[in-house]
Structure 1
Amino acid sequence: MKRTSAAVGSFGFLLVTPGTVCVLVPSLITRWRRPVDPVPWVDGLGWVLVLAGAAALAHAFVAFAWHGRGTPAPSAPTERLVVEGAYRHVRNPMYVAVLALVLGQVLLFTSWGLFGYLVVLGLTVHAFVRTYEEPTLREAYGPPYEEFCANVPRWLPRLTPWRGVRRRDPRRRAAVDQR
């Protein structure tokens, strides 16, 4: 897939899926009502999580289009295993970003309903990753994905970037040699 097509597809998926999960559903739960007197440090932490989550989410979508030449949508998957940027620290930066963004909103809106949504969302994402996404990626990418899984944590980011598959992926080496 061309990078332009991948970028357009990724952007469309970003608007629909994370847009629904991170904006539409929280707005329906909270009605965008914030506490009259928010606790400053809780409010600040909430904003940090929302902004960091949004930035990480945008970065991950760009990585899919630019490095993977595909989208996060199962109907237009990446051509290459993406192990660039945030993916060197955590296997699922999109999901981590979405959960951080929703957690930030829990703090900003001090909403128990939104907290319940966050818990259900986290459990659902974990089950989806374990039962569908990881087996699908193992089948698609084989040993490079196994090496990636062995070295990069699923949910809690590692402090130093992992560089394994990036240097040793034979498909990537072949693409570099053909230039």
Structure 2
Amino acid sequence: MPRTPTLGRAYFALQAAMGAAWWIAVAVLPPVRLATLGDLAPLPVALLDVPLFVVGSLLAASGLLVAARVATGWTCLVALLLVGYSTVTGQAGAGAVLMVAAAGGSVTALLALLDRGVPVSLLLRGPFRFRPARAGRRRSAYLAATLAQAALFWGVLLIGVPTLLLLLEQRWALHASWGGGIPVGAALLVAATALGVAAAAAMSLRGEGTPLPAATANRLVVAGPYRVVRNPMAVAGVLQGLAVGAMLSSWFVVLYALAGAVLWHVLIRPPEEADLQRRFGTAYLRYRAHVRCWVPAIRPDGGARRTAP
């Protein structure tokens, strides 16, 4: 995330304007009130939300850190309460979605105002800390570990989380079926899974490691799918998420997959690439110069070596 308080202030200014516009719409448009507040009485909510959310965001836009903290805390609390209310009652689903988005934006803007980056180091600990796999094992052992990791992560990220999101989408009365989503999604899922399996096999058999940061490859892999795109497993994961979203006719799941791509690109990719550069030096720099992160290269690997020690 760019360390620029200006972006934080700009976001809070936009949030104040959008919040004011939303309350005006609540007052004059009953469908908006019903979709975002359900049966909640608008006046008691407005007595708290207007000063803490709208005015607080406006003051935060001027650079007042106390106001930014208050507005962010209030936004997160309202998002949590609305998610609970919508889940219990089946009402105000649109309001819950808007407040969850506002909470994420407020937290990011507050970090920008404080001129701090997202604390990625807190995420990259334990099983997510970058370190090479134990060297000297049979390649079949790396492959077995990789397949076990894939089964676990795919089970959680492609079955568990999408199922929960679909249930929330249905409960919040925001679900709408798409025509033709199942065949298109199934075809995409098969192709994306094949890409992920091929990338995992290359990582295990040629890189002597696994996709998990705590047991990452001992050798720089530029074979298989890595010849045409630097992060084929990330590409495969995003496409799998989009495929599941299409099969479930769930825009929640589609947004989840896209959000995952953004978070991976902004939070995980930089430290991962820094680790690769530290361990593999000019071989990785040459590879990175010829092969793009997300878009497949027209000329595979640009002459880079297939593996590097």
Q: 2:187 aligns with which of 39, 48, 59?
A: 48
Could you say which structure has the larger radius of gyration? Answer: 2
Match of 1:94 in 2: 233
Q: Are 2:274 and 1:118 aligned? A: no
Deviation at 1:87, TM superposition (A): 0.4
Q: 1:70 aligns with which of 209, 221, 227?
A: 209
User: How has the CA–CA distance of structure 1 residues 133 and 12 changed in structure 2, closer, same or farther, with 3 Å as cutoff?
Assistant: same
Q: TM-score, normalised by structure 2?
A: 0.50
How far apart, in 1, do the equivalents of 2:282 and 2:177 lie? 53
Determine helix, strand or coil for the equivalent of 1:166. Answer: coil
Q: 1:27 aligns with which of 153, 163, 176?
A: 163
Q: 2:223 aligns with which of 84, 106, 117?
A: 84
User: How has the CA–CA distance of structure 1 residues 37 and 116 changed in structure 2, closer, same or farther, with 3 Å as cutoff?
Assistant: closer
How far apart, in 2, do the equivalents of 1:68 and 1:74 lie? 13
Match of 2:144 in 1: 8
Structure 2 residue runs of 5 or longer lacking an equivalent are: 1-136, 170-174
Q: Which has the higher contact order (CA 8 A, sep 6+)?
A: 1
The size of the alignment, in residue pairs, is 168
User: How has the CA–CA distance of structure 1 residues 164 and 110 changed in structure 2, closer, same or farther, with 3 Å as cutoff?
Assistant: same
Where do 4+ consecutive residues of structure 1 move more than 3 Å? 35-38
RMSD: 2.4
Q: 1:150 aligns with which of 289, 295, 299?
A: 289
Determine helix, strand or coil for the equivalent of 1:162. Answer: helix
Q: Are 2:199 and 1:60 aligned? A: yes
AA partner of residue 16 (structure 1) = L
User: How has the CA–CA distance of structure 1 residues 170 and 94 changed in structure 2, closer, same or farther, with 3 Å as cutoff?
Assistant: closer
- Once the two structures are superposed, residues 52-84 of structure 1 have per-residue CA deviations (whole angstroms, 9 ceiling, x without a partner) of 111111111111111111111122121111111
Deviation at 1:38, TM superposition (A): 4.8
Match of 1:39 in 2: 179
Q: TM-score, normalised by structure 1?
A: 0.83
User: How has the CA–CA distance of structure 1 residues 9 and 154 changed in structure 2, closer, same or farther, with 3 Å as cutoff?
Assistant: same
User: How has the CA–CA distance of structure 1 residues 17 and 37 changed in structure 2, closer, same or farther, with 3 Å as cutoff?
Assistant: closer
Structure 1 residue runs of 5 or longer lacking an equivalent are: 172-179
AA partner of residue 53 (structure 1) = A
- Once the two structures are superposed, residues 107-166 of structure 1 have per-residue CA deviations (whole angstroms, 9 ceiling, x without a partner) of 222212112212321111112343211111111111111011000000011234225222
User: How has the CA–CA distance of structure 1 residues 65 and 28 changed in structure 2, closer, same or farther, with 3 Å as cutoff?
Assistant: same
Conserved 8 A contact 2:222-2:304: yes
User: How has the CA–CA distance of structure 1 residues 67 and 170 changed in structure 2, closer, same or farther, with 3 Å as cutoff?
Assistant: closer
